[in-house]
């Protein structure tokens, strides 16, 4: 089977990755795979692995790469792939990038949502107050996730910036403003093929 077309969607917690991926699915027909959603789903299982994943997510830490890469590989295998995959919240560590790109597919581009921690914190606290509240959307875990983002995830973004594949989006604006930028990027990418 030919390698799938893959875009990595990166950015701190609350930067708007999931929100924009949903709209891209509707408009461009991509498949959206959120590493965090796949991990939360696996974490619901009453297995040793499920319990371990839940613990790590509650602590705001990164799940070992082989677990997340296996979940993504299975999801890619099972999904229809009309226009490509938006892999959201992955890779969050250098070894995840290597394992996926050597074993599954090389990402075509990396979309990085650049957002201030103040804005991300406000958005996550907003999410925590609503129906989509998550166990890790409490202020203590949010701040730990910010630290993990700076220490472990940002070096991945920097390495993609250096190799010329990273496209940075200013994600501080309102939902429609951010999505307008994102959709234009995909339109332009389509034209330059
Ligand atoms: P991520 O997947 O990057 O963690 P989400 O897309 O889940 O972030 O967004 C986190 C929260 O912020 C959600 O409640 C979402 O509705 C809200 N949100 C997303 N983008 C924006 C935006 N541009 N302006 C205001 N709120 C936003
Ligand atoms: O992207 P999202 O905010 O849904 O991720 C939630 C949590 O899932 C992260 O804080 C982290 O604990 C875990 N995760 C991970 N490795 C990834 C993506 C998410 O360990 N690549
Ligand atoms: Mg998300």
Helix, strand, coil percent content, the chain, rounded in steps of 5: 55, 15, 30
Question: Can you tell me the mean pLDDT for 28-47?
Answer: 97
Q: Could you identify the atom of ligand 1 that is nearest to the CA of residue 15?
A: 3
Tens of pLDDT, residues 98-152: 999 999 999 999 999 999 999 999 999 999 999 999 999 999 999 999 999 999 9
Nearest CA to 34 out of 101, 79, 1, 3 is that of 79
Q: Is the pLDDT of residue 191 over 90?
A: no
Categorize the per-residue pLDDT at 176 as very low, low, confident or very high, splitting at 50, 70 and 90.
very high
Residue 46 confidence (pLDDT): 97
Tens of pLDDT, residues 66-91: 999 999 999 999 988 668 999 999 99
Each domain of the chain, given as residue ranges in start order, spans 6-185
Q: Is the pLDDT of residue 62 over 90?
A: yes
Which residue, by CA, sits nearest to atom 19 of ligand 2? 36
pTM metric for this prediction: 0.97
Cα–Cα distance measured from residue 176 to residue 36, given in angstroms and rounded to the nearest whole number = 24
Is 84 close to ligand 2, i.e. is its CB under 6 Å away? no
Q: Following DSSP, what letter does each residue of 59-88 receive, concatenated? A: TT-PPPHHHHHHHHHHHHHHS--SS-EEEE
Residue 3 confidence (pLDDT): 82
Q: Which ligand is nearest to the CA of 120?
A: 1
Mean of per-residue pLDDT scores for the chain: 95
Task: For ligand 1, pick from 14, 86, 88, 135 the residue to mutate: most ligand atoms within 8 Å of CB.
Answer: 14
CA of 19 to the centre of ligand 1 (A): 6
Nearest CA to 126 out of 34, 90, 110, 134 is that of 134
Residue 45 confidence (pLDDT): 98
Residue 1 confidence (pLDDT): 63
Categorize the per-residue pLDDT at 190 as very low, low, confident or very high, splitting at 50, 70 and 90.
confident
CA of 60 to the centre of ligand 2 (A): 7
What number of residues does the chain have? Answer: 193
- Asked whether 63 and 53 are in contact (CB, 8 A), the reply is yes
Question: Can you tell me the mean pLDDT for 160-171?
Answer: 98
Fold of 6-185: Rossmann fold (3.40.50)
Residue 138 confidence (pLDDT): 95
Which residues are within 5 Å of ligand 3 (an ion), measured at CB?
Answer: 17-18
Q: Is the pLDDT of residue 6 over 70?
A: yes
């Amino acid at each position: 089977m030919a390698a799938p077309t893959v875009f990595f969607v990166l950015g701190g917690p609350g930067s708007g990755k999931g929100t924009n991926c949903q709209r891209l699915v509707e408009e461009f027909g991509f498949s959206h795979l959120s590493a965090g959603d796949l991990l939360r789903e696996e974490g619901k299982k009453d297995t040793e692995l499920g319990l371990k994943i839940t613990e790590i997510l509650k602590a705001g830490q990164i799940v070992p790469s082989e677990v997340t890469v296996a979940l993504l590989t299975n999801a890619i295998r099972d999904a229809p792939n009309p226009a490509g995959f938006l892999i959201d919240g992955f890779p969050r560590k250098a070894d995840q990038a290597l394992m996926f790109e050597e074993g599954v597919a090389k990402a075509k581009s990396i979309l990085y949502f650049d957002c201030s921690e103040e804005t991300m914190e406000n958005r996550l606290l907003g999410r925590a107050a609503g129906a989509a509240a998550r166990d890790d959307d409490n202020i203590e875990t949010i701040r730990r996730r910010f630290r993990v983002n700076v220490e472990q995830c940002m070096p991945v973004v920097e390495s993609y910036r250096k190799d010329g594949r990273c496209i940075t989006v200013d994600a501080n604006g309102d939902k429609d403003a951010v999505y307008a930028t994102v959709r234009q990027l995909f339109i332009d990418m389509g034209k330059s093929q």
